Structure 1
């Protein structure tokens, strides 16, 4: 899966002020990512507020995104959830035209055992026609996919090709990298730890802050890939504060506000139970982004 290395971005879903999907802004965002050097795009990851979209809206976004991208860069679809049977059905019937892989989050809320997580992904692997990227994000799901389970899945299913790791546990990252099959990749799921993860052997990032600063994130991963960590560290430090601000009041409120300020999307509207960035956070973000080119 060499095409899914380097900088990927989990696209936000722009909304109009009335809560409807702003496809014009989505198209502008997609073009901005590609023009600024993003290596690949993820449509409807958790940053896309997927949990608040209807089935029809998800289908419309996937179809629109595939047409807008038009094979200019690789495109990944985010399809995941905690109802294994329903997710497997969605994957089996999904129109994969324009997409090269699937990103699927570990089941949330149910808090399954490691065997339950394994069986969940086994069902997905058997239903999917395309390669699968696992997604471990304990802060959102309430459970951690252990390195042993990750490696077991990688060894048992040839179409499970990578994991997006957002556990923040470097011992876990190291164990995956030590024990994984040669054709299985580790991808950073947290912008602030992309540089050290790539130093260990991760192949890149599926980024949030890349929505607003795709050129910087793309350059950061390219520098890490060539071993130029001195220059990469400058970009890492440049983005660190603004990235932290994006998560102060829950993602994607912060990055949507930045995108609005940059003129990439029209509105920073989010769907309940999320609310837009507070006035205090907006003021702090304004001060930070004023110093970023």
Structure 2
């Protein structure tokens, strides 16, 4: 199998897992979410990852999310899945992803335990070699690879990129210089717009955008301004949109997921402000504060298309 060692650049869409009032996966709402992202021109879709509450899905729901995404995407942009956690389940999901003919997967951290570099290397290696799909390494939490360990993985043709959600800039500088012609890089920090001005000069030419689930045109405006050196627009969006939203996100654990759903509900997408434990919905006071921020943002930066109810 010929593998193109490229990962999606630009703004990557990470759809949520919408749940109905009975707590079941709402595939119709999921399809609307994905089609909304595609209509807004996002360059890729990463299904059933962190924002998709990967840790709370059973195998049937995981497969439903892939099928729904594949039906919506129809080959228009790269489609990646999330695999990880329990290593045996990760391999099952990697093989299922290959069966579904997605473009690749993002390897999420192993379940709970912290391992030595050799152990984490074996974790990644076991998943990577289980399929011929493109694989993206994810630097986060208890899965942080040193440069010498990454060196051992890049020889596998499946390894196409590295996503950083850790924020060690010294390590990022070393990795991007050492592997600039062998890997591509994706910014996966929480609220990645906050850190993108620091990541972009290093060679991170793509990022996962939480706010793109509800205000994708503003994320696009921000990223275009950043690439074009329009510091005034970058500064304005920072002050009026990104920093205020990020301040709410930091108020409660789990808001990295539930705040996305709240934002989608506020702009009229068919997603309820619900999540599976241990993630909790956004508290009413924070919800109203968030709603006020979004209304002001949409007034200053209106969409060119009628997207919101």
TM-score, normalised via structure 1 length: 0.90
Which residue number in structure 2 is paired with residue 235 of structure 1?
237
Name the count of aligned residue pairs.
288
Which residue number in structure 1 is paired with residue 64 of structure 2?
60
Offset at residue 158 of structure 1 (A) = 2.0
Unaligned segments of structure 2, at least 5 residues = 299-309
Offset at residue 276 of structure 1 (A) = 0.8
Which residue number in structure 2 is paired with residue 100 of structure 1?
103
| Separation in 1, partners of 2:284, 2:70 | 35
Q: Choose from 126, 129, 133 the match for 1:130.
A: 133
Deviations 1:216-253 (A, max 9, x none): 22343344445555544443443232134234321211
Which residue number in structure 1 is paired with residue 43 of structure 2?
39
| Separation in 1, partners of 2:266, 2:285 | 15
Which residue number in structure 1 is paired with residue 153 of structure 2?
153
Change (3 A) 1:200 1:43: same
Q: Choose from 88, 91, 111 the match for 2:91.
A: 88
Structure 1 residue 50 and structure 2 residue 49: aligned? no
Which stretch shows the higher mean deviation, 177-186 or 158-167? 177-186
Tell whether the 8 Å contact from 2:137 to 2:161 is kept in structure 1 after alignment. Answer: yes
Deviations 1:141-168 (A, max 9, x none): x4533333234322x2121111110111
Change (3 A) 1:74 1:272: same
| Separation in 1, partners of 2:250, 2:22 | 24
| Separation in 1, partners of 2:139, 2:61 | 25
| Separation in 2, partners of 1:43, 1:117 | 24
Q: Which has the higher contact order (CA 8 A, sep 6+)?
A: 1
Change (3 A) 1:9 1:177: same
TM-score, normalised via structure 2 length: 0.86
Tell whether the 8 Å contact from 2:98 to 2:132 is kept in structure 1 after alignment. Answer: no
Unaligned segments of structure 1, at least 5 residues = none
| Separation in 1, partners of 2:177, 2:90 | 31
| Separation in 2, partners of 1:231, 1:2 | 30
Superposed CA RMSD in Å reads 2.0
Structure 1 residue 9 and structure 2 residue 13: aligned? yes
